[in-house]
Each structure stands twice: as structure tokens, then as C-alpha cells.
């Protein structure tokens, strides 16, 4: 009888504990970049010193907490071909096509992994694992409930069922409450009391090169288009959609972190004419956003904004957060002057980056998958505290998530959908178009 | 349509004169001291070959990269030479020599750099990788090393660098990139502070780039090492099949 994903899951209260467990499960083949440069090099030396050690018994198939990281080849076709080859199965194009179709990857089979969306990377990692099961003794998956939308959860269940049929050990490492699909209950701070903050979002003629920022030396650069949009919205606003629809693309376009053609602007109500029209963005992978800077440097603020202002915002965020949670949980949140003296947590990193952004008075603050790396309770308290502080500063907040947790909290909702172009006629034709639809009410 | 092997052969053969000097050095006539007519002709042949074999788009990219490397080098180099000449005693012959030297260097770089880049660009790494992974009989150790090299290279080029650029753009890491009119843009720090901040930012970016680039190598190496080794017997079998055909 098939067991549910939850029954194979070990839950952890913090990102740090889960990450340590994952690294142990994959025999420490992953260095902790998050721990800072010194920790990184210690880990890397330890990994390389084990190269000459005796080979491990039994192969472990793994999916990292950012599924793209575990893909060792350049395209979906190559990843699946390698998985077949590793299992000593004869290469068969029709089998690869069949698996790709099943996981919704048929259209992107030959596309480089670098151009796949987060959702497609997730599906590819699961497809690869389903093939690798034949040659693995164990499967370890890190926080799948965070990166897999509810509609695609059946793919994870299929992989688990397949593994159990083949007597493989399945181990899922997740954060507390990560799998919970129920809407978050009103917290002590009272979500119903959160003020509504009107703002408008305008996008016109937006074309985004899918290689993110660089032109490759080979083919023409594929383009994504965003349909022209002019919407009046209310904060907190939820940008939602299935895996791979382009939610993060919209966020990065609004924050000006992508090289793009066209105009994107967010206007706050009653904002001065000279006010910033770009949003501040908290990346899903906040580790990459730190650029390994010390915490003092992170708190120094964005675009030269005052460090003291960032520290003040940070302290207000901490107070709000502490009000939402009990003392045991809130004690993890560091005082700003402790940053470089104590080991910090992912929550501290998120808080400092958020404070630095808010202190720079952006047009809006976008939190891309704010639950990534946080337990459910911690994530809800963090988002509630960010909204409370940002609204007091007159800054709208947009959440990007496919989790239903936020539904009682948000005041407007944007659904993101992606449609593939049938046959791009020239290099300038987009390969797909992302559309935003205003629901008016939380969807 | 020429296949990639033929294109690669032509491109690599074109590099022989640049690296050996033959037959360019045989013809002594020069436009300027250090720039032979033969070199100009050779440059024209190289540029035409790149356009015909790899297309205009790749030629443009190669040329832009060449100019991006050559121009700052020429300007800074000639500036340093002029300062040195002024310190040791300015004379007209010396300044003419500097002009000739850097003109020759520029002429060399705008030919050699696009040629070197096209020698790499002509190889269809994607197809080669796919060919390795779809053949029967396993993978040799050299092919495994090549697979890891390609994975790390593509990770750096298409993931690490774009992610860092995204952070730089979103955050305005460099002090000079502030937006006009923004609150932060109004307060202008002193030059020394800005230089210090920029140096710090470059160090952070360097550390981040190195750590991000190598972080997943053990995980990928493990995955690639799982590919079956190509046995001598398999190679002999494939060889005999080829001969039979």
C-alpha cells in the first residue's frame, strides 16, 4: 500500500537543522555557502579530502532544496539520457519522450536547463529521480512541499509510490508545517486589522531575454513577453500561479533586476513624483542575494540608504515578529549588533535584507516565496511583521507564492499564466507570453 | 551546409599563421611599422571566415569582446608609456614609437581575439554532450572530466554570473549606479569612500563567484561518476563494427 509523502517525511524546526540533515544524507557532498566564506572553504576542504576514501555503498538519488542545483547536465534531454545510462538501461528516445510528456516537459526537452523556469526544473528533478530509482538504494528529497505547487504534488506521490514498489528507502526532509495546505489562522497581531494600501502596477512592451543577462555564443536568445498591464491593486497583494508560470520573472522585472525592454513601474498612492518606481525584491534564494557579505554590510542598506534607518526597520520587524510568536521561537532572531559575533539563521538573513530594502523606500516590496527556508509558523509571523512595518511606512507588499496560507491575509490577487507561442517566426518573437489577471478578490 | 567538424578544421587552420608567423613574416612590406600588409590581408580573411562559418551575430559578439579587451588596454598602456617617456625625458621619436607599438598591438588583438573565440564557438558542446550521453558502451574518464568541465562552465556562465548581475541591478551594489532623484542618490559620498565601497563590492562579488561556482561540483561529480565506464572491450567491439561496415 502506498504511503503519503508526509509519512516518509522528517520535519525540522529550522532551515539550518534540515540542511545539516540533508548534507548528512548525501554524505556531505554539499558545501555550506550560507555559513560564510570560512565555513564554505572548511566544508569544501572536507569534501575534497574524502575523494580518496573508500567508495560508498549504494547510490543515493537526491533533490536539493533548489531543485535546479541537483541537475548535472545541460538540458532536460541530457539529464534524462544520463539517468537512463546510469541505470544501464538501453538508450531509447521514445522512453525519454514518454517520461518528458508525463512530467509536462515535452516542449522544453532540448531547452538548456539554464532557461527552464523554477517549475520546470522541479518537474525535471522528479522525472530524473523516477528513472534513477532503478540504480539507487535511497532517495533523499529536501523540502519538496515548498517548491512543488499543490496541483503538481501528485508527481511527488508517483515517485514515492514507484520507489516503494522497488523497495527503495525514501526520505523527505522538510520544515515544520511546510506540507500544510490550510489557510493561516488570524495571528495575535490580527490580520483583519491590517490596513489596505492602494497602488498601481503598469507594464508596457516588456520583453525579457530568457538567458537572464548574457547572450550566449550560440543560438538566438529566446524572449519572454509580458502582456501590457495597467492595474489598480491593494496591498497586501498575492501573485499566484502554478509551477513554471513566470511568477518570479514578473517579480524580477518589477524590481529591475533583469535586463529587459519595455517599461515596468509601480506607483504608490500619494507618492511624490520623484519617488522610486521600482520595487525592492527579496529573492527566493536569499543566500545568493547576500553575496557573502558580512551582516554589517547587509544592514548598511540598499543603494546607499542610511544604515541607521535599516537597523531601525530591522528592530521594528523583530518586535512585530516577536509579538506573533512565543519566546522560544522568537529567541532565534538576533539583535543587530550580534550579527558578526553569533551564528545567524536564514531568518536573520531574510530580515536584514528586508529591512535594508524597506529603508531605501522602494515603490513596493516583493517577497518571492517568503516561506522558502522557514517553518510555517515562522514564515507566517515573518510575513505578517513585514506587512505591518511596510504598511506603516506606506510601502505596498506583494507576495509571490502558490501556497494557500496567505489567502485570509491578502487584499488583492494576481494570477500569472503562461502561454507558449505556437511558432516564433523570427528571433524577435517571444517563445512564450506571461499574462497577469486581476482577480479583485483573493483567488 | 558544412558540418561542424569541417568548420572547426578551417577555423583552427586559420589560426596557424597567427601563432607561427608563417607566411605573414615572409612579406616585409608594412602599412605602418609593425603592421604588415600581409597582416591586414590575413585579418580580412579571418573576419570573412568567421562571418561565413559562424554567422554575423557571433562575429559581432567576438568583435565586441575583442574591442572591450583591447581598447582599455591600449589606452591605459599608452598612457603609462607616455608618463614613463615624460619622466625619462620627452622626445619625438619616442612618442612615434609608442603610437606605432600600440597601433600594432590593436591590429593584432582585433584579429587574434575574435579568432580565438570563434575557435571555441565553432564547437557544438551541446551536441557533443548529448552524443556522449546517448551512445551505448559507456563513457571514458576523459569524457567524464569534459562533462564536469562543461557543467561547471555553463553554471558559471549562465547561472552564477547572471545571478550576481541580478543582485547588483536590484540592489545597486556599485555606488555609481544610483538612480537620479532617489533619496539615496542625493547624498554623494566622497571619492575615497566610493572607491572603498566599490573595492569592497568587487571583493564580495569575487568571493561569491568562486564559492557559487564550485559549490555543486562534488554533487555533480558524483552524478557523472555514476555513468558506466567505457570498457576496452566495448571500444574494440565498436571499432570492429565500424570496420565491418
A191-250 confidence digits (pLDDT tens): 666 788 999 999 998 888 776 444 444 455 668 889 999 999 999 999 988 777 888 888
Q: Any CB–CB contact under 8 A between B149 and chain A?
A: no
Angle B4-20/B37-54 helices, nearest 10 degrees? Answer: 160
Which residue among A33, A88, A220 places its CB closest to the CB of B215?
Answer: A33
Q: Any CB–CB contact under 8 A between B190 and chain A?
A: no
Residues in chain B with CB shorter than 8 Å from the CB of A214 are 157-158, 161-162, 165
Grid coordinates representing A14? 529550522
Contact between A214 and B126 using a beta-carbon 8 Å cutoff: no
pLDDT tens per residue, range B39-74:
889 999 999 999 999 888 888 888 988 998 999 999
Contact between B216 and A289 using a beta-carbon 8 Å cutoff: no
Pairing of strands A397-400, A237-240: parallel
Contact between A281 and B170 using a beta-carbon 8 Å cutoff: yes
If you average pLDDT over each of A135-139, A266-270, A362-366, which comes out highest? A362-366
- For chain B, give the number of residues: 245
State the pTM of this model. Answer: 0.82
What was the pLDDT predicted at A64?
93
Q: How far apart are the first and last CA of chain B?
A: 26
What was the pLDDT predicted at A156?
93
In order, the DSSP letters of A120-156 are HHHHHHHHHHHHHGGG-SEEEEE-HHHHS-GGGHHHH
Query: From CA A286, how far away is CA A364, in angstroms rounded?
Result: 18
Which residue among A33, A112, A217 places its CB closest to the CB of B61?
Answer: A217
Given CA atoms B203, B204, B207, B213 in this order, what sign does their dihedral have?
negative
Grouping H, G, I as helix, E, B as strand and the rest as coil, residue B13 is helix
pLDDT of A61 strictly over 80? yes
Which residue among A47, A292, A305 places its CB closest to the CB of B211?
Answer: A292
Which range among A10-24, A136-150, A312-326 shows the weakest confidence by mean pLDDT?
A312-326
Q: In order of start, what are the domains of chain A with their CATH numbers?
A: 5-175 (3.40.50.300), 191-438 (3.40.50.300)
Residues in chain A with CB shorter than 8 Å from the CB of B53 are none
Q: If contacts are CB pairs under 8 Å, which of residues 61-100 in chain A contact chain B?
A: 62, 64, 68-70, 72-75, 77-78, 81-82, 85-86, 88, 90-91
What was the pLDDT predicted at A294?
77
What was the pLDDT predicted at B126?
79
Closest-CA residue of chain B to A55: B222
Q: Whole-number mean pLDDT of chain A? A: 83
User: Buried (b) or exposed (e) across A336-362, using 16+ Cβ within 10 A?
Assistant: beebeeeebbbbbbbbbbbbbbbbbbb
* Spatial contact of B8 and B123, defined as CB atoms under 8 Å apart: yes
Cis peptide bond prior to A155, omega within 30° of 0? no
Which residue among A31, A37, A274 places its CB closest to the CB of B181?
Answer: A274
Given CA atoms A144, A148, A149, A151 in this order, what sign does their dihedral have?
negative
Q: Which of B52, B44, B39, B43 is nearest to B6 (CA)?
A: B52
For residue B113, give how far its alpha carbon lies from the nearest alpha carbon of chain A (Å).
Answer: 14
What residues have CB less than 8 Å from A224, skipping those under 6 apart? A207, A208, A210, A246, A249, A430, A431, A432, A433, A434
What was the pLDDT predicted at B217?
92
Q: Any CB–CB contact under 8 A between B58 and chain A?
A: yes
pLDDT tens per residue, range A74-89:
888 889 989 988 887 7
Bridge partner residues of A142 (DSSP): A173
Q: Any CB–CB contact under 8 A between B130 and chain A?
A: yes
What was the pLDDT predicted at A174?
95
Q: Any CB–CB contact under 8 A between A215 and chain B?
A: yes
What is the widest separation between alpha-carbon atoms in chain B?
Answer: 78
Query: From CA A231, how far away is CA A221, in angstroms rounded?
Result: 30
Contact between B126 and A64 using a beta-carbon 8 Å cutoff: no
Grouping H, G, I as helix, E, B as strand and the rest as coil, residue A201 is strand
For residue A334, give how far its alpha carbon lies from the nearest alpha carbon of chain B (Å).
Answer: 23
- This complex has an ipTM of 0.88
Grouping H, G, I as helix, E, B as strand and the rest as coil, residue A356 is helix
Query: From CA A415, how far away is CA A442, in angstroms rounded?
Result: 10
What was the pLDDT predicted at A274?
65
Q: A425 φ, ψ to 5°? A: -80, -35
pLDDT tens per residue, range B167-221:
988 887 665 544 444 444 455 567 787 788 788 888 889 999 999 999 999 999 9
Which range among A141-155, A310-324, A426-440, B120-134 shows the weakest confidence by mean pLDDT?
A426-440
Amino acid at each position: 500500500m502506498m504511503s503519503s509523502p508526509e509519512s516518509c517525511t522528517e520535519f525540522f524546526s529550522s532551515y539550518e537543522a534540515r540542511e545539516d540533515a540533508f548534507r548528512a544524507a548525501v554524505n556531505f557532498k554539499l558545501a555550506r555557502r550560507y555559513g560564510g566564506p570560512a565555513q564554505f572553504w572548511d566544508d569544501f576542504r572536507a569534501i575534497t579530502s574524502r575523494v580518496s576514501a573508500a567508495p560508498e555503498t549504494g547510490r543515493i538519488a537526491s533533490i536539493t532544496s533548489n531543485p535546479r542545483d541537483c541537475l548535472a547536465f545541460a538540458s532536460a534531454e541530457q539529464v534524462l539520457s544520463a539517468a537512463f545510462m546510469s541505470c544501464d538501461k538501453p538508450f531509447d528516445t521514445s522512453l525519454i519522450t514518454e517520461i518528458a510528456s508525463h512530467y509536462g516537459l515535452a516542449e522544453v526537452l532540448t531547452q538548456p536547463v539554464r532557461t527552464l523556469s523554477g517549475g520546470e526544473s522541479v518537474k525535471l528533478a522528479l522525472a530524473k529521480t523516477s528513472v534513477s530509482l532503478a540504480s539507487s538504494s535511497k532517495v533523499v528529497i529536501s523540502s519538496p512541499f515548498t517548491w512543488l505547487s499543490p496541483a503538481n504534488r501528485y508527481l511527488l506521490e508517483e515517485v514515492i509510490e514507484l520507489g516503494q514498489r522497488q523497495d527503495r528507502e525514501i526520505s523527505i526532509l522538510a520544515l515544520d508545517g511546510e506540507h500544510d495546505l490550510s489557510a493561516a489562522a488570524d495571528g495575535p497581531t490580527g490580520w483583519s486589522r491590517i490596513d489596505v494600501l492602494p497602488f498601481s502596477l503598469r507594464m508596457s512592451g516588456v520583453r525579457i531575454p530568457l538567458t537572464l543577462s548574457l547572450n550566449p555564443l550560440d543560438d538566438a536568445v529566446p524572449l519572454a513577453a509580458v502582456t501590457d498591464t495597467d492595474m489598480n491593486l491593494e496591498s497586501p497583494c498575492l501573485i499566484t500561479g502554478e509551477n513554471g508560470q513566470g511568477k518570479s520573472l514578473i517579480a524580477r522585472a518589477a524590481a529591475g533586476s533583469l535586463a529587459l525592454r519595455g517599461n515596468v513601474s509601480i506607483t504608490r498612492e500619494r507618492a511624490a513624483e520623484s519617488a522610486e518606481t521600482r520595487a525592492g525584491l527579496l529573492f527566493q534564494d536569499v543566500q545568493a542575494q547576500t553575496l557573502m557579505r558580512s551582516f554589517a554590510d547587509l544592514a548598511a542598506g540598499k543603494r546607499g540608504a542610511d544604515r541607521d534607518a535599516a537597523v531601525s526597520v530591522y528592530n521594528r520587524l523583530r518586535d512585530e515578529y516577536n509579538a506573533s510568536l512565543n519566546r522560544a521561537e522568537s529567541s532565534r532572531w538576533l539583535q543587530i549588533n550580534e550579527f558578526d559575533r553569533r551564528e545567524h539563521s536564514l531568518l536573520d538573513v531574510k530580515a536584514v535584507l528586508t529591512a535594508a530594502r524597506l529603508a531605501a523606500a522602494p515603490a513596493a516590496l516583493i517577497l518571492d516565496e517568503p516561506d522558502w527556508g522557514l517553518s510555517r509558523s515562522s514564515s507566517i509571523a515573518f510575513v505578517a511583521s513585514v506587512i505591518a512595518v511596510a504598511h506603516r511606512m506606506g510601502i505596498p507588499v506583494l507576495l509571490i507564492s502558490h501556497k494557500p496560507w496567505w489567502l485570509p491575509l491578502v487584499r488583492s490577487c494576481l494570477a500569472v499564466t503562461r502561454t507558449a507561442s505556437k511558432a516564433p517566426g523570427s528571433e524577435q518573437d517571444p517563445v512564450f507570453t506571461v499574462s497577469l489577471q486581476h482577480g479583485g478578490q483573493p483567488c | 551546409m558544412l558540418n561542424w567538424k569541417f568548420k572547426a578544421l578551417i577555423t583552427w587552420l586559420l589560426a596557424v599563421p597567427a601563432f607561427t608567423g608563417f607566411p605573414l613574416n615572409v612579406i616585409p612590406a608594412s602599412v605602418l611599422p609593425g603592421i604588415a600588409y600581409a597582416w591586414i590581408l590575413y585579418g580580412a580573411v579571418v573576419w570573412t571566415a568567421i562571418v561565413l562559418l559562424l554567422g554575423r551575430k557571433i562575429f559581432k559578439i567576438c568583435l565586441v569582446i575583442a574591442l572591450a579587451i583591447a581598447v582599455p588596454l591600449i589606452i591605459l598602456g599608452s598612457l603609462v608609456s607616455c608618463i614613463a617617456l615624460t619622466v625619462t625625458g620627452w622626445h619625438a621619436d619616442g612618442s612615434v614609437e609608442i603610437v606605432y607599438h600600440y597601433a600594432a598591438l590593436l591590429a593584432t588583438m582585433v584579429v587574434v581575439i575574435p579568432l580565438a573565440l570563434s575557435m571555441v564557438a565553432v564547437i557544438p558542446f551541446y551536441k557533443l554532450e548529448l552524443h556522449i550521453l546517448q551512445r551505448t558502451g559507456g563513457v571514458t574518464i576523459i569524457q567524464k572530466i569534459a562533462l564536469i568541465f562543461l557543467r561547471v562552465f555553463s553554471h558559471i556562465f549562465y547561472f552564477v554570473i547572471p545571478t550576481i548581475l541580478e543582485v547588483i541591478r536590484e540592489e545597486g551594489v556599485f555606488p555609481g549606479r544610483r538612480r537620479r532623484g532617489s533619496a539615496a542618490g542625493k547624498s554623494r559620498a566622497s571619492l575615497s569612500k566610493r572607491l572603498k565601497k566599490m573595492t569592497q563590492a568587487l571583493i564580495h562579488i569575487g568571493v561569491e563567484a568562486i564559492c557559487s561556482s564550485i559549490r555543486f561540483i562534488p554533487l555533480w561529480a558524483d552524478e557523472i561518476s555514476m555513468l558506466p565506464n567505457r570498457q576496452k572491450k566495448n571500444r574494440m567491439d565498436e571499432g570492429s563494427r565500424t570496420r565491418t561496415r
